[in-house]
Chains A and B, each alone.
Chain A
């Protein structure tokens, strides 16, 4: 009797872990996290089958970082585009690194 896989994709595990790590570091409280996540998980916003749960986790993280002045939505969006460009520029089989983004030559 094997339990179903806990994460469907690696990014879901990463997002979940970031949320917990922020709580461990005391940057957000568990109560604040559950309320912020809950606000995105009501019947009006969330898919009835729960399939978009980790999408909500990511959106909640982005919103909390913006509120805390840690990173604006625009900064995060630019950075995620940089990661996508870096991935395309990275040969298959090599680790994707941000410095591989051709449009971001100054980055370490």
Chain B
């Protein structure tokens, strides 16, 4: 279109507020610009649910690792190179036919970042945060997950200090699969408890 004067840059109000915060904090020496870039790089590219899927696949394949994960999840997960932030501890909870685990943060958005990356939008939404505790079966139904009536659902409320990783049940008919192939069956939602691992043969 044209040769009007719309050649200048545009900064929307939210972006400008964040620039203002950053300017102050960097000018006062409270945070370093390089540290901010490193954090963004990590969360955009390096951490995500593939980390957690590797933890789960190893637990399925290696009983010693599973036992370690059950006793000291922080250390077992760190042994694979996935370390959380200082002061954050991990606990792994294992689904069984009798008990299904579901993770929520009723306060805000505490999440096992080192193994799952950043939480999906619904995890941070008020309805999920309140209803997961009051009506977990109803929440699971909305995710398309209908559990047997005699399966108990246990809800874990994350905190700033303690985060949970759900270890879903290993799908039937996967005895022949290597860890790497098993990891492909482990979805993000299955590690939050709003889904199950993908049945063998259904993986994309």
**CB-based contact A18/B43 at 8 Å:** no
B104 CB to nearest A CB, Å: 13
Alpha-carbon gap, A27 to B28, bound state (A): 12
Total A-B contacts with CB atoms under 8 angstroms apart: 187
| Given A3-B48, A34-B110, A79-B23: A24 and B35 interface contact (C-beta under 8 Å) | yes
* Chain B 27-59 interface 0/1 with A at a Cβ cutoff of 8 Å (1 = within): 010111001110110011000110000000000
Q: How many residues of B contact A (CB 8 A)?
A: 59
Residues of A within 8 A of B (CB): 1, 3-4, 6-7, 9-11, 13-18, 20-25, 27, 29-31, 33-35, 37-38, 41-43, 46-51, 53-55, 58, 61-62, 65, 70-71, 75-77, 79-84, 86-92, 94, 96, 98
**CB-based contact B19/A83 at 8 Å:** yes
**CB-based contact A50/B121 at 8 Å:** yes
Alpha-carbon gap, A23 to B84, bound state (A): 13
**Cβ contact of B22, chosen from A14, A23, A84, cutoff 8 A:** A14
Determine if B1 is an interface residue (Cβ-Cβ < 8 Å). no
Residues of B within 8 A of A (CB): 7-25, 28, 30-32, 35-37, 39-40, 43-44, 48-49, 85-88, 107-110, 117-118, 120-130, 159-161, 187-188, 204
**Cβ contact of A34, chosen from B12, B43, B107, B129, cutoff 8 A:** B107
**CB-based contact B126/A61 at 8 Å:** no
**Cβ contact of B9, chosen from A10, A49, A50, A90, cutoff 8 A:** A90
**Cβ contact of B8, chosen from A1, A15, A35, A92, cutoff 8 A:** A92
| Given A21-B35, A50-B122, A71-B24: A87 and B43 interface contact (C-beta under 8 Å) | no
**CB-based contact A38/B107 at 8 Å:** yes
Alpha-carbon gap, A51 to B14, bound state (A): 14
| Given A41-B126, A42-B126, A70-B28: A87 and B14 interface contact (C-beta under 8 Å) | no
Can you name the residue of chain B whose Cβ is closest to the Cβ of A41? B108
**CB-based contact A87/B21 at 8 Å:** no
Q: Please give, as numbers and ranges, the residues of chain B lying within 8 Å of A76 by CB-CB distance.
A: 17, 20-21, 24
Alpha-carbon gap, A17 to B85, bound state (A): 13
Alpha-carbon gap, A13 to B118, bound state (A): 11
Q: Please give, as numbers and ranges, the residues of chain A lying within 8 Å of B18 by CB-CB distance.
A: 11, 14-15, 18, 58
Alpha-carbon gap, A44 to B158, bound state (A): 21
Q: Please give, as numbers and ranges, the residues of chain A lying within 8 Å of B9 by CB-CB distance.
A: 87-88, 90-92, 94, 96
**CB-based contact A50/B126 at 8 Å:** yes
Alpha-carbon gap, A75 to B188, bound state (A): 41
Q: Please give, as numbers and ranges, the residues of chain B lying within 8 Å of A31 by CB-CB distance.
A: 159-161
